[in-house]
């Protein structure tokens, strides 16, 4: 059969199917799929260890399940999101360095083991058209976070999501499908009707109704304003904050909950304020050098950003912040040479911060974290060391903790109002969580 496409006699396309690609066709790690190739045949790229980036065109229809076998250095597939004729995806098993790929919007089936072994893949959007995800589709992808765009139930087969770290969902039908699949990671669910974020912990609750009526701390928090803007497509602009609730944890520790909208001179095209985010501000005071009347008081703040309108359970929020406050006091009372003790304190603080960022439905989780920890008596203390504040570090589990002043775009136009949207577990006390 005559070849319709021949590059250096190493890439061969019969009719509309690309059958073989030689190493000579890969230029500086890149291969651009010929426009004549609507189908990529079995083992077309097999064993091409010099292939790093594949660029495809919008008319592509199909990848054979074994097309990329042995492509151990493939890191990016570009243009796939424009391939509107592709409805089934099979092909990237074992591509351990794959990090960059976007699925076509019309894909309805993600086959068994489609991304198995793609251990470098950290994020992937699942289009609304997806109806089925095959067994072990994301096997070994323990860094992966998935965002589901659809609003209909999905057939998620055995083991498909077992290794996935976290999923982001916007509709209850998809949540139900994920729960029924046996997924044991974290779910961040945005309920548009309720206008709030809900953190779902499938390890502690299995009934879907319990999720929506008994959430404690929501998911979706970020300690970095710029990261929140990027992750939530929010506007990076001057903002106006309304204090919707302030709670005294102890005499030197307070938390404020702020609803933040765009300021009057940065309204949207319709002349309306844009709802930006809800901010949880943890504030604690310390005593500077000096005594009696000469003593000065300093404060530090950590802010966590959530989707606008996020609700919290007051009792759980106060338990977490009360434990953080006690651990800061304990660190301030611990001598600098007791490095092991200070590391243990910071480990506990990281676990508590993670609850505020990632959400929980476990009412006993603070007690479990603080088991065996004896907190000191309350009182304002001096703070002169790095260990005297919450952990300041970077990592996958928690974003870097920094004071609010470095990231917050909030201006000084802060207005108070009474009342608060609380989850139904909450009481009406303004001090503590008792």
pLDDT band at 196 (very low <50, low <70, confident <90, very high): low
The confidence score (pLDDT) of residue 367 equals: 93
Going from the C-alpha of 223 to that of each of 49, 279, 302, 385, 400, the distances in angstroms are 40, 10, 8, 21, 7
3/391: higher pLDDT: 391
pLDDT band at 208 (very low <50, low <70, confident <90, very high): very low
Start-to-end C-alpha separation, the chain: 81
Write the CB contacts of 216 (distance below 8 Å, at least 6 apart in sequence): 199, 312, 313, 316, 359, 360, 361, 362, 363, 423, 425
The confidence score (pLDDT) of residue 166 equals: 85
Q: Which CATH number fits domain 5-213: 3.80.10.10, 3.40.50.720, 3.90.1150.10, 3.40.50.970?
A: 3.80.10.10
Q: What is the pLDDT of residues 60-102, one digit of tens each?
A: 999 998 899 889 999 999 999 999 999 998 889 999 999 999 9
Q: Assess whether pLDDT exceeds 60 at residue 413.
A: no
Q: What is the DSSP string of 79-97?
A: SGGG-TT--EE---TT-TT
CA distance 332 to 326: 10
The β-bridge relationship of strands 196-201 and 186-191 is: antiparallel
Over range 287-293, report the average pLDDT. 60
pLDDT band at 191 (very low <50, low <70, confident <90, very high): low
The confidence score (pLDDT) of residue 399 equals: 38
The count of residues in the chain is: 434
178/399: higher pLDDT: 178
Decide: helix, strand or coil at residue 400: coil
Over range 334-354, report the average pLDDT. 91
Judge whether 126 and 150 are in contact, CB under 8 Å. Answer: yes
Highest mean pLDDT among 300-309, 336-345, 415-424: 336-345
Question: What sign does the dihedral 86-89-95-99 (CA atoms) show?
Answer: positive
Residue 172's DSSP bridge partners are: none
**Lowest-pLDDT range, 60-64, 199-203, 270-274?**
199-203
**Lowest-pLDDT range, 135-149, 257-271, 372-386, 398-412?**
398-412
Decide: helix, strand or coil at residue 415: strand
Question: What sign does the dihedral 17-76-358-113 (CA atoms) show?
Answer: positive
The confidence score (pLDDT) of residue 185 equals: 77
28/395: higher pLDDT: 28
Decide: helix, strand or coil at residue 155: strand
Q: Assess whether pLDDT exceeds 50 at residue 326.
A: yes
Highest mean pLDDT among 132-141, 146-155, 423-432: 132-141
**Lowest-pLDDT range, 80-84, 278-282, 407-411?**
407-411
Decide: helix, strand or coil at residue 290: coil
Q: Helix 314-333 crosses helix 339-358 at what angle (to 10 degrees)?
A: 160
Considering only CA atoms, give the Rg of the chain.
26
Give the burial string for 323-347 (b: 16+ CB within 10 Å, else e).
Answer: bbbbbbbbbbebeeeeeeebeebbe
Judge whether 173 and 149 are in contact, CB under 8 Å. Answer: no
CA distance 31 to 52: 8
Q: Assess whether pLDDT exceeds 80 at residue 293.
A: no
**Lowest-pLDDT range, 69-73, 87-91, 105-109, 427-431?**
427-431
In whole numbers, what is the pLDDT of the chain averaged over residues? 77
Judge whether 414 and 256 are in contact, CB under 8 Å. Answer: no
Count Cα atoms within 13 angstroms, Cβ side, for 169.
23
Q: Where are the beta strands (DSSP E) in 149-307?
A: 155-156, 166-169, 186-191, 196-201, 239-250, 253-262, 275-287, 297-306
pLDDT band at 22 (very low <50, low <70, confident <90, very high): confident
The confidence score (pLDDT) of residue 423 equals: 44
The domain locations on the chain are 5-213, 225-416
Over range 183-195, report the average pLDDT. 68
Going from the C-alpha of 8 to that of each of 13, 26, 38, 52, the distances in angstroms are 12, 11, 20, 19
CA distance 238 to 235: 9
Judge whether 72 and 95 are in contact, CB under 8 Å. Answer: yes
Q: What is the DSSP string of 17-35?
A: EEEEE-GGG-BTTEEEPPT
Question: What sign does the dihedral 390-391-396-397 (CA atoms) show?
Answer: negative
Over range 90-119, report the average pLDDT. 94
Question: What sign does the dihedral 245-246-249-253 (CA atoms) show?
Answer: positive
11/240: higher pLDDT: 240
pTM for the model: 0.50
Q: Assess whether pLDDT exceeds 60 at residue 278.
A: yes
Task: For residue 348, count other CB atoms closer than 10 A to its CB.
Answer: 19
Report phi then psi at 163, rounded to 5.
Answer: -95, -10
Dihedral Cα 45, 48, 50, 55, nearest 10 deg: 10
The confidence score (pLDDT) of residue 310 equals: 79
The confidence score (pLDDT) of residue 309 equals: 78
């Amino acid at each position: 059969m005559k070849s319709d496409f021949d590059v250096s006699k190493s890439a061969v396309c019969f009719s509309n199917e690309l059958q073989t690609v030689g190493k000579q066709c890969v230029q500086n790690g890149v291969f651009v799929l010929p426009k004549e190739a609507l189908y990529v045949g079995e083992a077309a790229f097999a064993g091409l260890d010099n292939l790093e980036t594949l660029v495809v065109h919008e008319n592509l229809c199909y990848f054979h399940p074994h097309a990329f076998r042995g492509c151990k250095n493939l890191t990016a597939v570009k243009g796939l999101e424009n391939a509107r004729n592709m409805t089934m995806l099979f092909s990237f098993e074992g591509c351990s360095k794959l990090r960059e790929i976007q699925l076509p919007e019309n894909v309805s089936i993600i086959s068994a083991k489609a991304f198995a072994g793609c251990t470098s893949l950290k994020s992937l959007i699942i289009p609304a058209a997806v109806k089925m995800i095959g067994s072990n589709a994301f096997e070994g992808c323990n860094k992966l976070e998935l965002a589901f765009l659809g609003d209909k139930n999905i057939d998620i087969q055995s083991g498909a999501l077992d290794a996935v770290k976290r999923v982001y969902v916007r509709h209850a039908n998809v949540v139900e499908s994920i729960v029924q699949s046996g997924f044991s990671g974290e779910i961040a669910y945005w309920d548009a009707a309720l206008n709030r974020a809900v953190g779902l912990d499938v390890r502690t609750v299995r009934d879907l109704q319990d999720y929506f009526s008994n959430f404690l701390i929501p998911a979706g928090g970020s300690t970095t304003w710029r990261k929140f803007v990027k992750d939530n497509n929010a506007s990076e602009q001057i903002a106006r904050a309304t204090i919707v609730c302030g709670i005294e944890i102890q005499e030197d520790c307070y938390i404020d909950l702020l609803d933040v909208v765009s300021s009057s001179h940065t309204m949207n095209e319709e002349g309306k304020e844009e709802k930006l985010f809800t901010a949880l501000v943890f504030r604690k005071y310390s005593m500077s050098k000096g005594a009696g009347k000469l003593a000065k008081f300093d404060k530090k703040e950590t802010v966590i950003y959530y989707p606008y309108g996020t609700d919290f359970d007051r009792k759980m929020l106060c338990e977490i912040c009360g434990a953080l406050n006690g651990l800061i006091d304990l660190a301030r009372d611990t001598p600098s040479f007791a490095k092991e003790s200070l590391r243990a304190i910071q480990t506990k603080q990281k676990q508590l911060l993670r609850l505020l960022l990632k959400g929980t439905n476990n009412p006993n989780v603070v007690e479990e974290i603080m088991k065996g920890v004896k907190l000191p008596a309350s009182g304002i203390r001096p703070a002169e060391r790095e260990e005297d504040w919450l952990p300041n570090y970077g990592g996958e589990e928690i974003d870097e903790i920094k004071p609010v002043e470095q990231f917050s775009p909030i201006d000084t136009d802060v207005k108070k109002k009474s009342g608060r949207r609380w989850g139904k577990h909450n009481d009406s006390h303004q001090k503590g969580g008792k």
